[in-house]
Amino acid sequence: MSITADSITLNSPAHHAAAPALRPDLRPDLRHDWTRDEIASLLALPFATLIFRAASLHRTYFDPNEVQISTLLSIKTGGCPEDCGYCPQSAHFDAGVPANKLMDLEPVLHAARAARDAGASRFCMGAAWRSPKDHDLDRVAAMVAGVKALGMETCVTLGMLRPDQAARLKSAGLDYYNHNLDTSPEFYGEIITTRTYQDRLDTLAAVRDAGISVCCGGIIGMGEDLDDRAGLLASLASLNPHPESVPINALVRVTGTKLDHAAPLDPLDFVRMIAAARITMPASMVRLSAGREALSDEAQALCFLAGANSIFYGDTLLTTANPAIARDNALFDKLGIAKQA
């Protein structure tokens, strides 16, 4: 059975329920040939049509009333040599974030246990590095093994990786590596000059080749246009397989960074980006990441409707504010959302 909405043909839940034996990579919704123009057209659809289409696909792949709770910990904060224009941890800006050393193992495991006890099933550790030094990687590998032993899904984001470093993390039990493309290839140079788009793609290939799941997304609200947003999604969806996890961040404007004065993002454009990510990568986790602190409950509800199925939970992301746990719990209660086990 198919439904036609404004000339777009949808596969209904009934259609998918009738074909459970299809391999995920053979399912008709999983395309790797999305063009930028097609995605720009998606982003510009009438809002109700876009959300309907995204929500319909969402429920063919996921329980729409379940959201995964992740907790982030900055295991090495500040003093980063890269010049990412959005980032308070870059040493190129004075955003009041002091440079710290890599944390010891025990406090990291303590934080992971606390996150697990608060309901998180995924623990993501971030380090403000261009790329990890091998002796630091051994210490991070011990953290990964320790968090994994607590029964949590593990993710780290450490900058650029060589293939042998990815293999080292895989053998420690790492589930996901986060490394974002951030924006379109064309707009990228406006934001970052110290590493190239191709550097990022090379790291993603090393992660994929090591057998680690890929977590890769980007940021909107940096002054990019709709075409750049489409270009980011086209780059992500061209990866084969799709990243299993796609964080969509709204810029958190931090005083002292290059993008401090970027124009504010319309929350409905954030919802549109979530919806287009869901449509172009329907089987991936779409993570409603940085920027939730500035979103109303109503805007977040629209993001969940549009296909977001993961949030970061806890008062801080890496260095910036995130909604308080009590507010998130109240929102989940109001919406009837369950935390994914």
Residues serving a catalytic function are 80, 84, 87, 124, 155, 215, 287
User: Min. distance of Cβ 161 from ligand SF4 in angstroms?
Assistant: 12
Pattern 95-134, binding to ligand DTB, x per CB under 6 A? Answer: -----------------------------x-x--------
> Pattern 147-186, binding to ligand DTB, x per CB under 6 A?
----------x--------------------x-x------
**Region near ligand SAM per CB under 6 A, out of 133-141, 174-182, 207-215, 275-283:** 174-182
d(CA 329, CA 243) in angstroms, rounded, equals 28
Asked if 157 is part of the footprint of ligand SAM (rule: CB under 6 A), the reply reads yes
CB of 20 to ligand SF4, least distance (A): 40
Question: CB–CB of 156/144 below 8 Å?
Answer: yes
Print the binding letters for residues 144-183 with ligand SF4: x by CB under 6 A, - otherwise: ---------------x------------------------
| Under 8 Å between Cβ of 62 and 309 | yes
87 binds ligand SAM (CB under 6 A): yes
Please identify which residue in 78, 247, 267, 282 interacts with ligand DTB, judged by CB under 6 A: 247
- Give backbone dihedrals phi and psi of 168, rounded to 5 degrees, phi first: -60, -45
From the list 43, 57, 67, 87, which residue makes contact with ligand SF4 (rule: CB under 6 A)?
87
Q: Which amino acid does the sequence have at 1?
A: M
Q: Which is nearer to ligand SAM, 130 or 334 (CB)?
A: 130
User: Which positions from 38 through 67 interact with ligand SAM, judged by CB under 6 A?
Assistant: none
Of 88 and 307, nearer to ligand SAM (C-beta) is 88
Choices 105-113, 160-168, 318-326, 332-340; region in contact with ligand DTB by CB under 6 A: 318-326
- Residues 287-297: b if buried by 16+ CB within 10 A, e if exposed: bbbbbbbbbee
Query: Which of 153, 182, 228, 328 is close enough to bind ligand SAM by CB under 6 A?
Result: 182
Q: Which two tokens stand for residue 182?
A: 């951030």
90 binds, among ligand SF4, ligand DTB, ligand SAM, none (CB under 5 to 8 A by kind): ligand SF4
d(Cα 105, Cα 103) in Å, to the nearest integer? 7
Q: How wide is the angle at C-alpha 180 spanned by C-alphas 164 and 60, nearest 5°?
A: 105
Assigned token pair, 291: 């920027």
Say if residues 123 and 71 touch (Cβ distance below 8 Å): yes
Helix, strand, coil percentages, rounded to 5, for the chain: 40, 15, 40
- Concatenating the DSSP letter of every residue in 26-78 gives GSTT--S---HHHHHHHHTS-HHHHHHHHHHHHHHHS-TTEEEEEEEEEEE-S
Which residues contact ligand SF4 (rule: CB under 6 A)?
80, 82, 84, 87, 89-90, 128, 159
